[in-house]
Amino acid sequence: MKSTSMKTNKRFQNLKKWKLHASAAAYLAGWKVVRLLPEPVAHRLFSWAAVIASRRGKGMDQLRRNLTRVVGAENVDRALVKRSMQSYARYWCEAFRLSVIARDPDVIHRVDAHAVGVEQVNPHSPMIIVLPHSGNWDLIGMYFVKKVGTFTTVAERVKPESLFRAFVDYRRSLGFEVLPLTGGETSPYSMLLKRVREGRTVCLLGERDLTSNGVEVEFFGETTRMPAGAVKLALDSGAPLHVAHTWFEGNDWGLSLSEPVEITDVKSGVQAIAQIMEKNIKAHPEDWHLLQPLWISDLDRRRYQSGLQQKHD
């Protein structure tokens, strides 16, 4: 009986691994195809897929719950969900086509036309920049490469490794220095601190806690956890920390950069970041790409439902 169970488990793991590699292969193939498509065709395809997904796609219930925290339940209508998914699809379309967009000589001007606070960017001084998953943060990363030469960031080690390597290599080709969140030769924090002390710029996505070691903060009236790495970097290095925000502005992109955040300790520093992000996200709710549970109440509900399912099985 034990032997049969082990064989079944092995088959399940092999099937799971095969699906993972098959999905990665399809993803990488699609990536190449999208870069070859004319821009209008690519955007129409992604927008069409977004409309379909907004009607019956996975994660729509969670998206509505997340948007409810931002704009109130009375304002989360069909149109907002549709715009949110179209914005999310545009991010992915542009992410696949960044190498093409980078060749546009007007791309920096198209950001500068809608930028606020970017005069604070100094290629000769260290900066720590924190931003949420909004608009097109990869394109804004490319913008910072043009402004400061390069910057350092951290990426979650997605599976399989071939997909992670493709992500990293692609971003490095655009001038990003990418450190793996896990599995690197040294801890990402020590390398980030080194870069800041060298006078470099560090950019970190900052509203999702991927390590379960985040700091509890109030965000849109509820408790969640946010990563504390950027605040610790600021405290340890003395470098200024700014909260950035990106959004879509017609066919162009918007960017705002806050004044340096006043930081005296980790918890209050992370809470200050959360408050600035709240204001920014409220201004452009459809461009905040959050289809996953973020707040502790939603995470607890998912764990509870998962436990019920396992018990039923």
Catalytic residue positions? Answer: 133, 207
Give me the count of residues in the chain. 313
Q: Are strands 252-257 and 241-249 parallel, antiparallel or unpaired?
A: antiparallel
What is the secondary structure of 222-238 as a DSSP string? EEEEE--HHHHHHHHH-
Q: Which two tokens stand for residue 254?
A: 């918007």
Q: Give me the amino acid identity at 305.
A: Q
- H helix intervals, the chain: 2-36, 39-56, 60-71, 78-96, 98-101, 107-112, 137-148, 161-173, 188-197, 229-237, 266-283, 296-312
> CA angle at residue 166 from 163 to 169, to 5 degrees?
150
Q: Identify the three-state secondary structure at position 155.
A: strand
Contacts of 245 (CB under 8 A, 6+ apart): 131, 132, 134, 135, 254, 255, 256, 277, 280, 281, 283, 284
As a whole number of angstroms, the distance between CA 313 and CA 311 comes to: 5
Q: In which element (H, E) is residue 156 found?
A: none
3-state SS, one letter per residue, for 261-312: CCCCCHHHHHHHHHHHHHHHHHHCHHHECCCCCCEHHHHHHHHHHHHHHHHH
